[in-house]
Amino acid sequence: MRIGIVGAGLGGLLAGALLSKNHEVVVFEKLPFLGGRFTNLKYEGFQLTTGALHMIPHGNDGYLAQALRKAGANVKIINSKPDGTFLINGKEYLYKELFSLLGFKEKAKAFKLATKLKLGKVDKNISFGEFLEEIDLALKVGNAFTGWALSLTAYETPMSEIIEIAKNYHKFGGPGIPIGGCKAVTDELSRIIKKNNGKIIKEYEVKRIEIDEKAYIDDYEFDVVISNISPIETQKICNIKFLKSKPKPSKGIKISIATKEGIIKHGGVLFTPECERINGLNQVTNVDKSLAPEGWHLVMTHQTQLTNNVKKEIDLGLEDIENLFKGKDYKILHIQSYRDDWPVNHASNGTDIDNIVNDRFYLVGDGAKGRGGIEVEGIAMGVLKVVNYINS
């Protein structure tokens, strides 16, 4: 089959790499670089990024890692140990230690919630925030987790997504870091497409998708078209009106910091439930020193954008950083805000669109993630669904 792909983000490149084994693939990318929001941005010797925090949510065992292996990609992913810690009253706690911080009555409530969850007796129609709200610390911890992982507050996160995320976590475990960062992943995928005689056309903005007896990207004819751009943008340039509901994007702010002494000891996430805005941070150089100049660490913070006043949100994030780094030497390298056509997610978890529009037309990327798929894991779930469908 001749397959045209619009967009060379992680979704388009992963689909292209998997499909180019058996099909003729052409990828169109409007920018001069590949990888979209999952590639590196070199700055003063630090490997910053166009989006992601150099983390793969379920590490070397999750959906993305499996899809990479299936594509033949040579990417080394180091699982983080521990997955993460929580900073409370200036002390770091593992997830399982948080229980000890609760008072007697709260412990009983937490036990009740955990049992309900285990027995599958939770109302799936409520939000994660509503589920947790009886216990102040649990709500704070929940907000830090959803803010970091999904760029949503706990109240914006459907409980049905949390239940699926928890299942995936039990199956695959926590995050990992690809050696070489995001670019190592997307570079490998584009290498595979080219090796399989696929074509990647850069600096080409697709203006029209037409699905009929055949499928068209502008004047190029294909058997099948896959769109890796946002579902809303896809619909704008397509003759088929497929959106029954509008996906709701998630917005966020990332601050990249240079520090010689570092702030975290492990390669996982330091969640910060007590910060005004920052939900968590990582120090990827604990795993891959090549992501910073010799002797330096790269720390990246993430916060979900709570109001439309971006400047105020950034100022509050910077105040949090000042408190977190009190007494330490650090330098702000870069502040990036993600919204509009370059958000954290084109569809926040729970508002994703189905991947299969019809036999000629498919959607991949972070507007069409699988259920309970955190970020690139959700993208990989969607891509695998499309690839299996096309190949079946």
Q: Cβ 123 to ligand FAD, closest distance in Å?
A: 28
Nearest in space to 8 (alpha carbons), one of 44, 32, 40: 32
Pick 12 or 174: Cβ nearer ligand FAD: 12
Pick 205 or 261: Cβ nearer ligand FAD: 205
Residue in the structure block whose two tokens are 């769109």: 227
Sign of the CA dihedral 371, 372, 378, 384? negative
Residue in the structure block whose two tokens are 């409530």: 109
Sign of the CA dihedral 24, 207, 342, 332? positive
- Round to whole Å and give the CA distance between 202 and 368: 23
Pick 268 or 365: Cβ nearer ligand FAD: 365
- Round to whole Å and give the CA distance between 305 and 302: 9
When CB distances to ligand FAD are compared, the closest residue is 9
Q: What is the 3-state secondary structure (H, E, C) of 147-179?
A: HHHHCCCHHHCEHHHHHHHHHHHHHHCCCEEEC
Q: Cβ 344 to ligand FAD, closest distance in Å?
A: 4
Binding site for ligand FAD (CB under 6 A): 6-12, 28-31, 36-38, 51-53, 55-57, 205-206, 228-229, 252, 254, 302, 338, 344-345, 365-366, 375-376, 379
Q: Cβ 134 to ligand FAD, closest distance in Å?
A: 30
Tell me which amino acid residue 53 is. Answer: L
Pick 249 or 273: Cβ nearer ligand FAD: 249
Q: Cβ 99 to ligand FAD, closest distance in Å?
A: 27
Pick 31 or 243: Cβ nearer ligand FAD: 31
Between helix 375-391 and helix 63-71 the angle, nearest 10°, is 50
CA dihedral 266, 269, 273, 275 (to 10 degrees): 80
Q: Cβ 90 to ligand FAD, closest distance in Å?
A: 26
Could you tell me how far CA 56 lies from the centroid of its own chain? 8
- Round to whole Å and give the CA distance between 285 and 294: 10
Pick 129 or 365: Cβ nearer ligand FAD: 365
Pick 192 or 229: Cβ nearer ligand FAD: 229
Helix (H) or strand (E) holding 144: helix 136-150
Q: Cβ 67 to ligand FAD, closest distance in Å?
A: 13
C-alpha distances in Å from residue 194, one per residue of 19, 43, 67, 386: 12, 28, 18, 21
Pick 87 or 225: Cβ nearer ligand FAD: 225
Q: Cβ 177 to ligand FAD, closest distance in Å?
A: 9
Q: Cβ 184 to ligand FAD, closest distance in Å?
A: 13
